[in-house]
Each structure stands twice: as structure tokens, then as C-alpha cells.
Amino acid sequence: MRSWSILGTVALLLVSDSWAFKAHDFKTCSQSGFCRRGRALSARAKEAKSSWVSPYRIQEDSINISPSQAVFTAAVKGLYEEINFGLEVRIQDDGVVRVRMDEVGGLRKRYDETASWALIAEPVISEDIKWAKSKGATRATYGQKKEFEVIVKHQPLQISLLRNGKEQIVLNGDGLLHMEHFRNKVEPPTSTEEPEPVEGESAEEEAGTQKVLEVKTRPTAWFEGETEDALFEETFSSWTDSKPKGPESLSLDINFPNHGTVYGIPQHATRLALPSTAGEDPTFSDPYRLYNSDVFEYLASSPVSLYGSIPLMHAHSVDSTVAVFHVVGSETWIDVSHASDKSTQTHWISESGILDTFLLPGPTAEDVFKQYARLTGAPVLPAAWSLGYHQCRWNYVSSDDVRTVQKRFDEEDMPVDVFWLDIEYAEDHEYFMWKEKNFPDPVEMTNDVAANGRKMVVIVDPHLKRDDNYPAFKQASELGILVKPKSGEGEYEGWCWPGSSSWTDFFNPASWDWWKGIFKPEGNPDKWTWTKSTTDIHIWNDMNEPSVFNGPEITMPKDNIHYGGWEHRDVHNINGMLYSNLTYQAVAERTNPPMRPFVLTRAFFAGSQRFGAMWTGDNLGTWEHMAVGIKMVLANGLGGLSFAGSDVGGFFGNPEPEMLVRWYQVGAFAPFFRAHAHIDTKRREPFLLDEPYKSIVKDILRLRYTLLPVWYTAFRETTVTGMPILRPQFIMFPKDKAGFDIDDQYYIGSTGLLVKPVTEKGATEAKVYLAEDEVYYDYLTNQAYRGAAKGKEITVPAALHQLPLFLRGGSILATRERPRRASSLMKRDPFTLKIALSKSGSARGELYLDDGESYNHMQGDLIWREFSAKEHGKHGLRISSADLAAAKPDEAVDGVALKTYNPANEFVKSVADVRVEKIVVLGLRSKPRSVKVQGGGELVYEYTPGVAASDKKGGSPSVLEIKDPRVLIKEDWSIVID
């Protein structure tokens, strides 16, 4: 009977333990040996103040400057005289500076392949820029007006990038550079006087009580500290990391002496302008952490690491925008502090890897994004359908369930493009293997969805159930391409959804063709492939941090072994990107010629933008998470990952109808728009809502679909320029200080749409910040608001059915006002042009179109047009359409520079009769006397008088509606308003 009562207690404890973020599952800096050492180093430097001098210095006689290229190399000495480092500084043809440093002749080799995974190609080194060596420093000056200067100071080593004599980025300015050299474990001499700390004492306590008397005996103590702290073996909770290579961490301070605001280093649930973690009165006590983690019910404001990592940080001031790309794939902690509101100090502490840092000089945000896109690639152009609405749930339980959900959407005439299946479709969570009882006819089910012009997305996670009857596991096991345990022999076994599992090592090239082959629906006589699928099925890669339920910090042990003998610690943050990369290729190559795949990933790294979309993981159905999700999507966009979104409704919990409606408004204005829900939640598909909520959500979905051409056009731009699709205030108005911290409103590409999603309960109005003296039109009511040059906050109605969405004066939008069941069914529909005249009476906009799913656009099968509205005569207006693709063929699409453009290409033929069915002009000064197509007849129009764009006031604007001008999208034309 006693055992009963014990069990009872256990059960009660379980019940009372609410599900929430489990802080004890994840390390704080003080629980991570190398982070602790890094912060201790910083603390010693602070204490020493001006007497602190970095021990790292260039051996002047070793300096070598490439005669033909802007490459500087030198030998470097650090704390230990006998340890050698090699430094290399290269200046690329676009002005980006790359700094690399590695230990030379060390006991072991540091991981140096991170850049090879992140970069799209080896950057081109400038042949024009020359280094000049002078006493104590080597310099290079470049730029059109010689405005940029790189200075490598020799002793102590310090590298700075300057613009117009002003320091932009400084490496090792605070002397925190430290590359721990490889060493063998020295067994401490047995001493009777100084007993070893008792085994089991926590490492923190050791760190706290290390005021030992041996100061004099360690000459390096001033820098490295008096005792060795967790150099070898390290224990966290019940896991011990064997750390066979010993210490190899990298500490580097990166300062922005003239930039008071920093952004980036996603993914963290926090404000866009990164709050401080160090210095005086920091917002967070721990550094930002980059260590891809499956964090259960993450907090809505925290520096803890989440699912993905992009070690790219932007620094911004009214003078310039610059960035640092610190290419490290191992766990990294970043402290941010501000000595004044005009400067920023950051301290990067990584567990392993070489120093490989790119300094992106800007000087504008556009330049920075371009420079970063040249390094890691611009976002890939997605399949057009993937910009539609995605309906997901853990789980639609059967093929009939999927059919019923589709039927209900159709009955309500709610547009949707994609139905998703989460892990429960798979028998025993063996991905690809349908649970036949519930999904007896997966191909027919997919065909039923495809028959309405839709697609399916099915989850495939990286863990393979260890079951010899599971072909994917069996094949991978036989090929010997599974990640190995620390012994380096056999297969690592961890615990995930299916129970005991193993993981493919995608660092092993032998895995690549295997994985690509497995997705082929047409089958392969030699091996098992996924024949129970069709090319209308696309893939969702979840859990690729990787998530390992019984591993340290819910992931793989760091001493696991990957291809080439590298430890998991070296490649952890890159791991997830490789998986979605290979899946992306696999899905593309199912057909010949390949078709654009859609792959959603949870884990990511710098470069993931080349392989599709990401989402912000398992958020909570709370207002806080709704709000922070917007900031996270903005931050991911800064990191290159524009195709991003948060789960609409929140993954966990049952949002009340009001919250759900607001969340649809948020989701409809994110690049990736998916509703998803946890298995324990009530069903919440939009057709289940009561009125008025149902109609409001239906209107939101339809609004999204009318704007799909706008989104697609915005995507074209980012695939060429790398500019994020969602643009926060600081990018649009870099000199407006008041906008630097604003992260709850944003512009969509260069379309002129400004959105401020409402994320508060019970809101009836919203405040929107207008940074310029320009007119903004409420997109849904046309109401005009006038901003001010010094910035102005306007208050706008924002009841539940209203959404603060504005069209900036000077913009032209091309929309399709006939929302249909699915985006693919709108391909031949006519366009509506909405022209929002600027205060000076003009406007412009773009439209990009292609077939949306093939790669034919790379051969020039596309339409890219510019619409403009300019003053014509004294009071008139000329609206015209011009061929941008013909004017700038080399800028039309990413990846290829088209030499010429054929305006009669195959795609154009397929939309030859697609026309403009309506033109709306907002803000005309007076009623037109005539509206004509140039060279054609009079058009029918309706004019409602109102406020003109040039009037210095808001109000109901004048509206001119031109009925069906019947001008074609493919052609140049002009419409003249007199």
C-alpha cells in the first residue's frame, strides 16, 4: 500500500506541473563552460580598464600583401608564446572585408567549413584595392570617393573599418579576442594541501569560489583566469559532454563606435532593436544565444536560443547601416551593450571553429542586404501557390478528414491553397509510410486536393525510427550514413517521436543522392522510393535542430561524430539547413525538368533563404506571442529569411475568436501565411467560427488573395536585391531616429503598403507612425492621412473588422479583385490598378508575373512591368505601362542575368488576353474632362470629389474609377486623363 501513496504523489505532481517553458532544460551562460570563460574574460577586462591590452599581436616581419589581390596575411602571437596563429584579411570587390584567423600547427584542427555551407560561392577578392604598410598598422583605402578605410593595427591586433574617417566596425577594440589553442589534458599534480573540489559540486560554485592564491604561478592568469574552468569534460543536468578536444572556444569583441542600434542575430523572441544584455542595467541578464533548439513553449521575451541561427548583426545610425557576419556553426553567445546611446559593444563567444568574419560596410541598408545576398545568396523565388493560405493542424486524421476540410472551405467560398499533414499520417512516425487505416488512398486524396488547383504539404522529419522494416532507416543504415556516437563507431540512437531513432548525417556526401532519390513517386526498381506520393505533395521539415527528446538540451550530444570526424558541436547550427537544403533539391528533382519545390523548415542557418520558407516554431496562443511573432518575422527578414511567418492562432492553446481574427490579420500580412494548431486544441478552421468572426476572416483571406500579385512582385525584388520583404521603419527612413525602435508596423517590399497589425485585445483604434510628409490612404476605405516630415503619429479606426493598412502616396498596386478557391485558379484573371497619388501628384509601381511553378522564368518566360502615373499637361495625368524586363533584363530574376528579353515569350502567350479591368486613382485634384486610352477611345469613368493628394490635409480623397480600360498586361499603353 505504501507504493500506492508514492505513485499518487507522482501523479499529483504531474498534474500540477503546468506545461510551460522549461528553463532547466536549457543552459544559461553560467552553465556553459566556454560562455562562462568568455564572460569572465570580459569581466577581467572591464576591471582592468585602460591597463588591459590584448595579448594578440601581429609579427610584423611576417606580413605578406598579395601583389595582385587585396589579401593581407600575417602571423599572429597570442597569450602563449609557443602558439601560432595565421591571420588573413581580404577585401572583396564589393568592399566587404573578410577576416580569417586560425591556429597554425596546433595539436588539432579547428572546424573551418562553416563558410562552405553558408556561402553561395567563394567571394571575389578585389584586384584594385591595395594595402599599404606603415608603422604599427597596415591600411587599405577604397570606394568611389576613397571613403572606406580598413586599418589592421599590429600590436595589439585590432582591425577597423572606417568610412569618411569614422569608425564603423572595430574588431578586438576591447581586447577580448581569444582563440583557445588546442592542448592536452594535464592531470593536476596531487597535492595534499589543495584538495581537488569534490566531485559533483556544480561548476557554477567552482566558478564562484576560484579566488585561489596561485596568482604568481600562472603567467596567463591575468587573461585566462586563475583556474581552469571546464576545459575538458563538462556536465549539464544528467548529461556529460566528454569534450575530447578540450577547450577551443573563440571570443571576439565587435564594436560599432558610431552606431547606437543593432538588429539581427535571429532567432530570438524579443524586440527588433536588440535590447542590451550587458553593461549598465541590461534588459536581459544572459547573452543572446545561437544554438538551434527545440524550445517547448518558449517565452515571448527572452534571449534564449530558438530553432534557428543566423550570426548576422546589423548596426544602424542616422549616418549609415553596416553589418557583421560572423561565420560560426557552433554554439555562440552574444553580449550586447551600449557605452552611450550612440555606440554599441558586442562580445561574441563561440564554442569552436575558426575566426571567419565578414564586415559589411553598407553604407545604406540596401547596400548591406545586397552585400549579404552576394555572400549567402538571395532568397529563392517561391512557387506562387505557396504565397496563398496554408491550412495545417496536428493532425487531419484521415484522408476523408482532409476531403471534408476541403469541402467545408469550398462551401464557405474561403480561399485556401494548401492542406497540411503533420506527423500522425505516418505509421509509427515512420515518415513516408502512410497509416493505411486512416489514409488508405493517399494518392487519390492528393489528387482530390489537386483537382481544385491545390497542393498538399506533408511532414518529413529527420529522425528515422530504428526499425529494419522501415526502408528509409534500413537504406541509411546500410549506406552507413547515420550520425555516429562519440566513439565514432556505429549509429547514434536517440529518442524522438517514433521512439528509438537515428539521424542521417547530411554532412556525408553519400547521403545526398540517396535522399534525393527517395522522393521519386515514379519508383525505382533497385530501391524503395516514395511511390505513394505525387508531385503535388511538398514537404515540411520539422525537428531539424535536431530535436532529440532524451538528449542534452533536447538535442544531440555535442560529442557525436559527423562525416569527416567533426564533432556535432562544430556543426550543430548548420545541421538543420543541410536537411532542408537536401529536401529542397529532392523535391525539385522529382520531375524533369525540375519544378519549384516548397519546403518549410524550422531550423535554419545563414543561407537557408536559398531553400524555402521558415516559421517561428511552436508559439503560444497568446497576445504576447502574436505580437512578438511579428518582430521575429521582421528579424528573420533582416537575416535574409524573408519567406517567414508565425503559426496563425498560436500552436498551443485555444484562442478566443477575437484573438483568432486578429491573428489572421497578422498572418495575412506575413510572407508565409499558415494556420496551425496543436493536437490538444479544439478545431479552429476558419469555417468553424461564428458570425461575425467567420465573415471577417473570410474577408481577410480574400484580401490576401487579391494582393497575391503584390506579394509575388515583392518576392521578385528580394530574390534579386536581398532586401527584406517586410521592411521596418529604419530601412525605409534610415535618418528618422524616432523609427529605429519601431517594430510593430512595417512596409511590404517597395509596394508602398504599410501595415500595423493589431495585437491587443479589445482594440478599437490604433496608432500608426508616419515618418514623412506624404499622404497615406487607408487601403480599405481610401481615407487619406497626411504625415509630417518630422514624424507624426496618427490614430486610425481599428475595430475587429478593420485593419490598419495603408497605401503610401506615390504607389501603384496591381491586384486581382476576384479571389477564388485557390491561387492557381486566378492566373488568367484581370488586374485592377490602384493608384495612390503622392503629394506631388505622381505614382509608380511594378508587377512581376511568371508561371509560378517552373524554372522557365530563368530563361526569360516572365512579365515585369512598371506602371507610372505622371502629371500630364497642366492638370492632367498620364498612366502608363512600360516593360521593365525589356529595359533591365539583367535585373529581372535572381541567379541568371538575362541578356535580352523576348516580349513574346511562352509565358506572355499564355496570358495574352489578361487585361486591366479597372483603374482607381486616389487624390486627383479635379474632375476629369476626358479619360482616353492613348490612340483609342474615351473610357467610362466615375468620379467622386474629395481631398486631393496635394492638399495638406487628410480626409475623404477624390476617387476616380475607370471602368474596364481593356488594356492588356503584356503591352505598353498609356491612359491620359485631362
Partner 1 sequence: MVPWALLLCSLPLSAFSKPTKTLGVSPNLLSKYVPIAKTNTWKCLDGSKEIPWDFVNDDSCDCPDGSDEPGTSACPNNKFYCQNEGHIGEFISSSRVNDGLCETQCCDGSDEQPGVCPNLCKEIGEEYRKKRDAELKLQRAGAKVRSGYIAFAHQEKKRLQGEVERLAEEIKAKEKEVDRLQDIAERTESLSQAALEHKKESPLYKSLIIHNNALKSLQREHKKHLEREKALGQILDALRTGYNPNYQDMAVLEAVRGWEELAKLPHINDVGKDSEAEKPSENESDEEEEEALEEGMWDAGQLEHQLDGLISTDYLSLLLEHEEYINGPQEGSILFELAAYLPDSFIPVYEDVKDTLVSWLQKFGIVRGDDGAADSSRAQQAYNDAKNELDRMRTELDTKENDIKEIFNINGFGAKGEWKKLDGTCLEKDTGDYTYEVCLFNEVKQKPNNGGTTFSLGKFESWNPSSDVQPGQPEFYQKQVYKHGTRCWNGPERNVVLRLSCGVENALLTVQELEKCEYEITGTSPALCLPPEEDKKNGNGKKKDEL
Find the shortest distance in angstroms from Cβ 575 to partner 1: 18
Rg (CA), the chain: 29
The residue assigned the cell 585566462 is 224
Lookup: cell for 503: 539521424
Which of the ranges 18-26, 245-253, 713-721, 845-853 carries the binding residues for partner 1, by CB under 8 A? Answer: 18-26
Find the shortest distance in angstroms from Cβ 508 to partner 1: 27
Find the shortest distance in angstroms from Cβ 400 to partner 1: 8
Establish if 736 lies at the interface with partner 1 (CB under 8 A): no
Handedness of CA 427, 428, 431, 433 (dihedral sign): negative
Backbone angles phi, psi at 729, to 5 degrees: -55, -40
Establish if 761 lies at the interface with partner 1 (CB under 8 A): no
Options 108, 166, 828, 909; binder of partner 1; rule CB under 8 A: 828
Give catalytic status of residue 618 as yes or no: yes
Q: Select from 350, 257, 250, 267 the least CA-distant residue to 312.
A: 267
Which of the ranges 113-121, 192-200, 278-286, 445-453 carries the binding residues for partner 1, by CB under 8 A? Answer: 445-453
Count of residues engaged in binding partner 1, rule: CB under 8 A: 70
- Which of 792-809 are b and which e, b meaning 16 or more Cβ less than 10 Å from the residue's Cβ? bebebebebebbbbbbbb
Q: Residues 903 to 942: which contact partner 1 by CB under 8 A?
A: 912-913, 915, 917-918, 927, 933, 936-942
Catalytic residue among 102, 351, 542, 567: 542
336-341 long-range contacts (CB < 8 A, ≥24 apart) are 336/262, 336/274, 336/275, 336/276, 336/277, 336/278, 336/287, 336/288, 337/276, 337/277, 337/278, 337/279, 337/280, 337/282, 338/260, 338/276, 338/279, 339/279, 340/260, 341/260
Establish if 101 lies at the interface with partner 1 (CB under 8 A): no
Establish if 956 lies at the interface with partner 1 (CB under 8 A): no
| Closest to partner 1 by CB, 357 or 958 | 958
Burial of 121 (0-12, 13-18, 19+ CB in 10 A): exposed
Establish if 498 lies at the interface with partner 1 (CB under 8 A): yes
* CA 294-299-305 angle, 5° bins: 45
**Strand 158-163 relative to strand 148-153, pairing:** antiparallel
Options 214, 428, 444, 513; binder of partner 1; rule CB under 8 A: 428
DSSP string, 207-228: HHT---SGGGG-TTHHHH-SS-
Q: Residues 282 to 341: which contact partner 1 by CB under 8 A?
A: 294, 296
| Closest to partner 1 by CB, 563 or 943 | 943
Find the shortest distance in angstroms from Cβ 676 to partner 1: 14
Q: Residues 52 to 91: which contact partner 1 by CB under 8 A?
A: none
Lookup: cell for 629: 511573432
d(CA 126, CA 96): 10
Give catalytic status of residue 113 as yes or no: no
Q: Select from 307, 333, 321 the least CA-distant residue to 259.
A: 321
**Strand 916-922 relative to strand 959-963, pairing:** antiparallel
Backbone angles phi, psi at 10, to 5 degrees: -60, -50
| Closest to partner 1 by CB, 735 or 828 | 828
Establish if 19 lies at the interface with partner 1 (CB under 8 A): yes
Establish if 121 lies at the interface with partner 1 (CB under 8 A): no
Establish if 444 lies at the interface with partner 1 (CB under 8 A): no
Q: Which whole-number Å values give the CA distances from 495 to 21, 232, 579, 697, in the listed order? A: 20, 26, 19, 40
DSSP string, 911-924: TTT-BEEEEEEE--
Contact 476, 432 (CB under 8 A): no
761's CB contacts (< 8 A; 6+ apart) are 623, 658, 659
Options 166, 767, 953, 963; binder of partner 1; rule CB under 8 A: 963
Options 283, 531, 795, 944; binder of partner 1; rule CB under 8 A: 944
Find the shortest distance in angstroms from Cβ 812 to partner 1: 20
| Closest to partner 1 by CB, 64 or 550 | 550
x/- contact string, 360-389, with partner 1 (CB under 8 A)? ------------------------------
Options 218, 737, 818, 870; binder of partner 1; rule CB under 8 A: 818
Find the shortest distance in angstroms from Cβ 941 to partner 1: 6
| Closest to partner 1 by CB, 90 or 463 | 463
Catalytic residue among 367, 570, 618, 917: 618
| Closest to partner 1 by CB, 80 or 239 | 239
**3 state SS of 399:** helix
Find the shortest distance in angstroms from Cβ 887 to partner 1: 25
Options 194, 204, 214, 413; binder of partner 1; rule CB under 8 A: 413
Which of the ranges 51-59, 143-151, 515-523, 827-835 carries the binding residues for partner 1, by CB under 8 A? Answer: 827-835
Establish if 875 lies at the interface with partner 1 (CB under 8 A): no
The residue assigned the cell 530558438 is 306
Options 342, 474, 820, 844; binder of partner 1; rule CB under 8 A: 820
d(CA 825, CA 172): 57
Catalytic residue among 461, 545, 685, 829: 545
Establish if 236 lies at the interface with partner 1 (CB under 8 A): no
* CA 562-564-569 angle, 5° bins: 45
Establish if 220 lies at the interface with partner 1 (CB under 8 A): no
d(CA 323, CA 343): 14
Establish if 656 lies at the interface with partner 1 (CB under 8 A): no
d(CA 425, CA 784): 50
The residues binding partner 1 (CB under 8 A) are: 3-4, 7-8, 10-11, 14-15, 19, 22, 25, 294, 296, 397-398, 400-401, 413, 428-429, 437, 451-453, 495-499, 549-550, 554, 679-683, 702, 817-821, 825-830, 912-913, 915, 917-918, 927, 933, 936-945, 963-964, 966, 968
Residues tagged active-site: 542, 545, 618
